Amino acid sequence: MREGHPSLTASIVAAARGVGDPPADPLAAELLPDVAAPWVRAASHAPPPLLSFLSFGLTDHMALRTRAIDEALREAAFSLKGELPQLVVLGAGLDARAHRLRDLANTVVFEVDHPGTQSYKRARIGARMPTAREVRYVGVDFERMNLGDKLAEAGHDDAKHTFWIWEGVTPYLHMPAIRATLETIGQRSSPGSRAAITYGTPDMTRLGRHLAPLVGIAALQAFRILGEPLYGLIAPRQLHAELDMVAYRVLRDDGVRDWARRFDNPRGRRLMVDERLVVAERR
Ligand SMILES: C[S@@+](CC[C@H](N)C(=O)[O-])C[C@H]1O[C@@H](n2cnc3c(N)ncnc32)[C@H](O)[C@@H]1O
């Protein structure tokens, strides 16, 4: 992250959610920087296969990821008989769930993000009414600050159920910051709380196994140039062990091609990047 600047990757993934007819996130275009919003609105009328091709699959990837996490959120609310008092969105970026999901009418949403990204997001959201009961903003740098203290100060109640979303953030963090955040999730979750966490594995690209050095170096360089280098790629078995250490039991762990099959998106089955989503429950 570049100090004092909003995350560029947050805008890129929001732009990918904002194209399509209908878009995966109808609010996304409104939250983008002024220079990008008209392009995204214009691109919405282009054929989805063309959008997917031009974005290297990102539009399909984001639509599938959004659906997979929304589905996990609804399943968690269902398991709690519709009573989901708290949602914490970690590294929220331009996530608009608090403003688009009617299921959150009784839920307090804590949007946690790097202060640079969060001040930009708050300015864009402005006075828009949330669909959630309430939204509270918590500025935290996962690498340097104590997430638990900040959540407690914001009124997060560790005795009530929480659903945690950590979407598209772990690859940008070093392992100690990932571990510290997981510890906070474990400590501030009452039993039955759930977490949906996306992550990248060391062999997350299709070509990775064959051209690992070349693809790896190119991808790492691209993110470095954006000012948001990747550090936190993690194997499923390791992440499951880390979750177990914070008293979370894995309910399911699947990847973008599994979501593509589930949501009947044939293009999604051919995506190059196989990001994963683990859904786990506090014991
Ligand atoms: C690719 S964006 C994902 C945003 C959002 N979750 C989504 O999926 O649209 C990465 C997010 O991680 C946040 N982030 C990166 N490093 C961080 C750090 N050290 N502390 C807090 N947030 C961080 C950025 O501010 C950004 O919002």
pLDDT tens-digit readout, 48-85? 999 999 998 999 999 999 999 999 999 999 999 988 99
**Which amino acid belongs to residue 272?**
M
> Residue 169 C-alpha to ligand 1 middle, in angstroms?
5
> Residue 263 C-alpha to ligand 1 middle, in angstroms?
26
Kindly report the protein residue whose alpha carbon is nearest to atom 11 of ligand 1: 91
Mean residue pLDDT of the chain comes to: 92
* pLDDT reported for residue 41: 85
CA-to-CA distance for 58 and 271, rounded, in angstroms?
9
* pLDDT reported for residue 102: 95
Strand partners, 273: 205
**Which amino acid belongs to residue 61?**
H
> Residue 92 C-alpha to ligand 1 middle, in angstroms?
6
CA-to-CA distance for 158 and 184, rounded, in angstroms?
10
Reported as half-sphere exposure (CB side, CA atoms, 13 A), residue 77 has a value of: 19
Q: Are 8 and 228 in contact (CB under 8 A)?
A: yes
- Per CATH, the number for 8-282 is 3.40.50.150
**What residues does ligand 1 touch, defined as CB less than 6 Å away?**
1, 7, 9-10, 13-14, 91-95, 113-114, 117, 140-143, 167-169, 172-173
The best mutation among 114, 142, 145, 146 to test binding of ligand 1, ranked by most ligand atoms within 8 Å of the C-beta, falls on 114
User: Which residue carries 């159920």 as its tokens?
Assistant: 161
In the predicted model, what is the mean pLDDT of residues 195-220? 71
Please check the confidence at residue 110 and state whether its pLDDT lies above 80.
yes
pLDDT confidence of 248, banded at 50, 70, 90? very high
Q: At what angle do helices 8-18 and 58-79 cross, to 10 degrees?
A: 90
Kindly report the protein residue whose alpha carbon is nearest to atom 22 of ligand 1: 114
Q: What are phi and psi of 210, to 5 degrees?
A: -95, -40
Phi-psi region of 11 (alpha: psi -120 to 50; beta: other; left: phi over 0): alpha
In the predicted model, what is the mean pLDDT of residues 120-126? 96
Strand partners, 264: none
Residues whose CB falls within 8 Å of the CB of residue 21, separated by 6 or more in sequence, listed in order: 44, 45
CA-to-CA distance for 193 and 86, rounded, in angstroms?
10
* pLDDT reported for residue 74: 97
Ranges 16-25, 61-70, 77-86, 224-233: which has the least confidence: 224-233
pLDDT confidence of 207, banded at 50, 70, 90? low
The residue ranking higher by pLDDT, 227 or 28, is 28
Percent of the chain with pLDDT over 90: 77
Task: Give 282: exposed, middle or buried? Use CB within 10 Å, 0-12, 13-18, 19+.
Answer: buried
pLDDT confidence of 21, banded at 50, 70, 90? confident
Q: Are 131 and 27 in contact (CB under 8 A)?
A: no
> Residue 162 C-alpha to ligand 1 middle, in angstroms?
20
The residue ranking higher by pLDDT, 44 or 209, is 44
CA-to-CA distance for 266 and 147, rounded, in angstroms?
39
Please check the confidence at residue 206 and state whether its pLDDT lies above 60.
no
CA-to-CA distance for 70 and 37, rounded, in angstroms?
24
CA-to-CA distance for 215 and 232, rounded, in angstroms?
17
CA-to-CA distance for 190 and 199, rounded, in angstroms?
24
User: Which residue carries 């894995």 as its tokens?
Assistant: 250
Domain boundaries, the chain: 8-282
For the chain, how big is the Rg over CA atoms in Å?
18
Supply 34's token pair: 């002024």
